[in-house]
Structure 1
Amino acid sequence: GELWSVELSSGETSKLLDDGFNPTYSPDGQRLAFDGRLAGAQRVWIADTRGRNPRQVTSDSSEAVVHTEPRWSPDGAAIVFRRVEKLKSDIAIVNPTTQAVTRVTDDYVVDVSPTWTPDGRGVVFSSSRGGGMNLWRARLGNDGAPAGLEQLTTGAGDDVQASVHPDGRQLAFSVRGINSDLWQLPVSPETGRATANPSPVLGTTRVESRGTWSRDGRQLAFNSDRAGEMNIWVLESPGRERRVTSGAGGDYQPDWAPDGQALVFFSARGGNTDIWQVRLADTALTRLTDAAALDINPAYSPDGRRIAFVSDRSGRFEVWVMGSDGSDQRQVASVGCWGHFVAWTADGKAVVFRGERDRQMQIYRADMESGALTAMRPVHSGGHMSFSPSQALIMDVSSHKVLWVHPVSGGEPYEVYQFPDPDVRIDYPRWSPNGRTIVFDRAAPRGADLWTLEAF
C-alpha cells in the first residue's frame, strides 16, 4: 500500500511513500511511524511528516516475522507494535532511538490492536487469552517492563480497536459480532470420513460454541450468550435446553464429569480466569483454582478423579493436573501448551497436547505421574484435537477452515470437510462417544457495534 496525506483545509492530497501501512503521527506532530516492506521484511519505520528520511526501527531473526500496527507512546519515546510469527501474535515495544525491544506478551494466544493509556504506564490490546477476544491491559513498570496483565472486558463477540479517552477514565471499542452455531457432521467411526452433509444442532443469532457430549452421548453442554452473558447451557434433548450458570464473567468450554453429574469450565466470574465446577442437580458452583494466573481448558480424567487444565502460573502456559475437588494442583510438563484442548488417554495415565520445543510446535504425550514426554506424529494444527472413541484417530481443524483426520499409528492425514463459503469458520470439533458424529462450531461475521467502558 501507499502512504498519502490530505490537507484538511484545502483537501489537497500528497503521496508520501510507495510502501507503508498503519501510519500514526508522533505526539509532537513531527514524525510518522508506519509498517512497511521498504527493505524486504515488514518492519516498523519512522519518517518525517513528508515521508522523507525513512528509518527502520525494528528488526528480527527471520524475514517471515511481521511487525505491524505501530502506535506512539504519549511522550513520543516508544512505539508499541504487534509482532506476528507463524501462529504467534504478540505485543512488543521498541525504543526508536536505541531500537531496544521489550516483549509485552510472548505466548501462543492472539494479541492484536495495541494502544497506549494516556499516562504511558500501560498498553490496552485485544486478546483471546481469556477464552473470547476481549480487551486486556498490560501495566508497565518504571523501567518500561511489563508488570502484569488485567482483563478489562468479558463475554461474547470480538472486542477490538480500543481507543482510550485522553483523561484515561474511559475507552471506546468495537464489538465485532459473530454468529456461531453448533453443527454436526455424520462420520464413519472407523475412518472419520464424512458419511453425509453437516446439519445444524443449535442455531440462534448469538454465539453457541464449544459443544461437548456427555459420556453417554445423550446430552450436549456448550457455552452461549443467548441470554446476554456468556454462560454454560445443556441441550438435554432436541428442543429442550437448560441454562446451568448465570452472571457476568464469561463461562467457557465445559467438560463433563464421567458420571454426568457435573461440568467443569473456565471463567473470569471471580475476577480472575479460573477453573469452576457446576453441579447439575442444583447448579451449585465451586471454584477449583484461585491463582494469580490464567487457568483454562479443563478436562476430566476418564475415572473422574482428576482434572487436567492449562495454566500460565509458572510463567507460560503449561499442563497442570489437580484432584476433581481442586486439591493437589501440580505442573505436569515444561514444554509449553498451546491449543484449546488437553486430551486424556483412555487409560487415564497420560494427556496429549500441543507443546513447543526449539520454537517448533509438537504434539506430546505426557505421563501424568512421571511427566515423561513422548513426541507423537505431527498434525495439521493441534490446537483443536479430539480423539475418536477408539483413540485410533485425531480430528483437528486447520486454518479454522478444514476438518482433518490423522491416524495415530501411521498413515497420511486426510481432509474430511470444509464449507464452500470462505467467510465461514470451523472451530472446536468434538467426537461423539459412539464415534458417529462430530459436533463443531460454524461461525460467520455479522457486523459490529461501538461500546464504551467507564472507569477502567
Structure 2
Amino acid sequence: MKKGVGILLLSALLCPLFSPGQNRDITSVLQVMDIRTGKCTIVREFPYRIEAPFWTKDGRMLIYNSSGKLYRISVNGKSTPELIPAGSADQCNNDHVLSPDGKEIGISDNTPPDGKSRIYIMPLSGGNPRLITPDGPSYLHGWSPDGKTLVYCAERIGNFDVYAIPAKGGKEVRLTAAPGLDDGPEYSPDGRYIWFNSVRTGVMQIWRMNPDGSDQTQMTFDQDIYSWFPHVSPDEKHVVFLAYFKGEVAPGEHLADKKVELRMMPSTGGKPKTLIKLFGGQGTMNVNSWSPDSKKIAFVSYRLTKL
C-alpha cells in the first residue's frame, strides 16, 4: 500500500468524514492528528459549536472559542473546559493568536456598538483586554516571532487586505492592495515571510510575501480547490491549510458546514497532499494549530445531529 493512500484510509477510519443533511444542529469534534501516521485522536465532543483550536507553548492545553468566549481544555480531554475571562470582550470570533512568548493572546472581538471586529491583547490566563485596532473590521491572524508586530485582515476602503500594526498599538500599514479578498496572514517562524490566502486570480490560493509586503508570490495553483488559512509548522518544514471544493462555495467564501479537506505542502513550495477529508470549514482550522513539536495538528470537524 502506498504511504499516501495508507494515511487517507487510516484517517477515514479514525476521523469523522462527510455528514449528510441540512439541519444546523451541530456536534463539534475536537481532534488531534499525528501528521506522521495520519492517526486522529478525539480530544472531546461538544453538543454545540466550538472553533479554531490552538496549542499553548507547553503543549498541554488547547484553546478554542465558542459563543463569543474563549476556553481552554487539556490535550488529553480529561479536564473540564475552563472559561478564560476576557472582561468586556464577550463576542470573540474565531481569529485569535498566541504571543511568541506564550504569555498573551491576541483576540478579535465583535465590539459594540457597531459590532465590528477589533483586535485586543490580554494575558493568556485572562484579564482586561487592551485595544490595538480602533478601526474595524479587523481580524487577527499573525504575530511576528520577535513579538513586535501583528498582521491581520481588515476592510478599510471597500476592500479586505492584509495590514500590519505594532503589537503595542499605533499606525497600521497596508501590505496588500490587490482587488478581492486577502486574508489569513501569518508569519513563518523565522519571520522571513508572511503567508496568506488571496482570491486575486479568481481562485482562492495560498500566497506568501516579505514582511514589508514586497515579493508577493503564489504558492498553490489547483484550479478546482479554494485554499485558505496557511499555517507554517514550528520547524518550518510544512504548511497545512484548509481546502474547499469548487462548486461548494464561491471563490471568496469560507463557510461553515461544508465538505472540505486539510492539505499539507512543503514550506518551500510543491504539490500539496490531502491529510483528511471532513465536514467543516469555517471554524475547523482558522488559526495556527500546530503542536509545539511540529508533529501534530489540532482541528474541529462537525456532525449534524438532526436530519
What is the TM-score of this pair, normalised by structure 1?
A: 0.52
In structure 2, what is the equivalent of residue 445 of structure 1?
Answer: 304
In structure 2, what is the equivalent of residue 351 of structure 1?
Answer: 194
Q: Is contact 1:236-1:242 (8 Å) kept?
A: no
Name the one with the larger strand percent. 1
In structure 2, what is the equivalent of residue 388 of structure 1?
Answer: 233
Cα distance change on mapping 1:297 and 1:286 into 2, 3 Å:
same
Q: Deviations over 1:341-400 (max 9, x none)?
A: 322122223311112334343432222225332232436432132222232322223234
Query: How far apart are the structure 2 equivalents of 1:417 and 1:444?
Result: 15
1:217 aligned to 2:59? yes
Cα distance change on mapping 1:206 and 1:294 into 2, 3 Å:
same
Letter in 2 for 1:269: T
Q: Deviations over 1:283-310 (max 9, x none)?
A: 121121121x311133211121111110
Letter in 2 for 1:417: I
In structure 2, what is the equivalent of residue 262 of structure 1?
Answer: 104
Name the SS for the 2:101 alignment partner.
coil
Structure 2 matches for 1:207-246, cutoff 5 A? Answer: 207-225=49-67, 230-235=68-73, 238-244=78-84, 245=86
Q: Which has the higher contact order (CA 8 A, sep 6+)?
A: 2
Query: How far apart are the structure 1 equivalents of 2:137 and 2:215?
Result: 24
Query: How far apart are the structure 2 equivalents of 1:319 and 1:326?
Result: 16
In structure 2, what is the equivalent of residue 180 of structure 1?
Answer: 28
Query: How far apart are the structure 2 equivalents of 1:258 and 1:386?
Result: 15
In structure 1, what is the equivalent of residue 132 of structure 2?
Answer: 288
Q: Is contact 1:336-1:355 (8 Å) kept?
A: no
Q: Is contact 1:178-1:444 (8 Å) kept?
A: yes
Structure 2 matches for 1:5-84, cutoff 5 A? Answer: none
Cα distance change on mapping 1:224 and 1:290 into 2, 3 Å:
same
Cα distance change on mapping 1:178 and 1:377 into 2, 3 Å:
same
Name the SS for the 1:239 alignment partner.
coil
Deviation at 1:334, TM superposition (A): 1.1
Letter in 2 for 1:222: Y
In structure 2, what is the equivalent of residue 253 of structure 1?
Answer: 95
Please identify the structure whose Cα radius of gyration is greater.
Answer: 1
In structure 1, what is the equivalent of residue 256 of structure 2?
Answer: none
Query: How far apart are the structure 1 equivalents of 2:182 and 2:52?
Result: 13
Query: How far apart are the structure 1 equivalents of 2:196 and 2:104?
Result: 24
Name the SS for the 1:275 alignment partner.
strand
In structure 1, what is the equivalent of residue 119 of structure 2?
Answer: 275
Cα distance change on mapping 1:305 and 1:252 into 2, 3 Å:
same
Letter in 2 for 1:284: N
- Unaligned residue ranges in structure 2 (runs of 5+): 1-22, 245-258
1:314 aligned to 152, 157, 170, which one? 157
Query: How far apart are the structure 1 equivalents of 2:271 and 2:211?
Result: 29
- Unaligned residue ranges in structure 1 (runs of 5+): 1-174, 449-456
Cα distance change on mapping 1:365 and 1:401 into 2, 3 Å:
closer
Name the SS for the 1:401 alignment partner.
strand
Cα distance change on mapping 1:342 and 1:216 into 2, 3 Å:
farther
1:205 aligned to 2:47? yes
Query: How far apart are the structure 1 equivalents of 2:81 and 2:208?
Result: 36
Query: How far apart are the structure 2 equivalents of 1:215 and 1:355?
Result: 29
Q: Is contact 2:149-2:166 (8 Å) kept?
A: yes
Query: How far apart are the structure 1 equivalents of 2:217 and 2:270?
Result: 19
Structure 2 matches for 1:22-171, cutoff 5 A? Answer: none
Q: Is contact 1:221-1:255 (8 Å) kept?
A: no
Name the SS for the 1:391 alignment partner.
coil
Q: Percent identity of the aligned residues?
A: 19
Q: Deviations over 1:164-210 (max 9, x none)?
A: xxxxxxxxxxx94332231111122xxxx51x2x2222322122210
In structure 2, what is the equivalent of residue 90 of structure 1?
Answer: none
Q: Is contact 1:221-1:254 (8 Å) kept?
A: no
Query: How far apart are the structure 2 equivalents of 1:329 and 1:442?
Result: 35
Letter in 1 for 2:28: S
What is the TM-score of this pair, normalised by structure 2?
A: 0.74
Cα distance change on mapping 1:318 and 1:441 into 2, 3 Å:
same
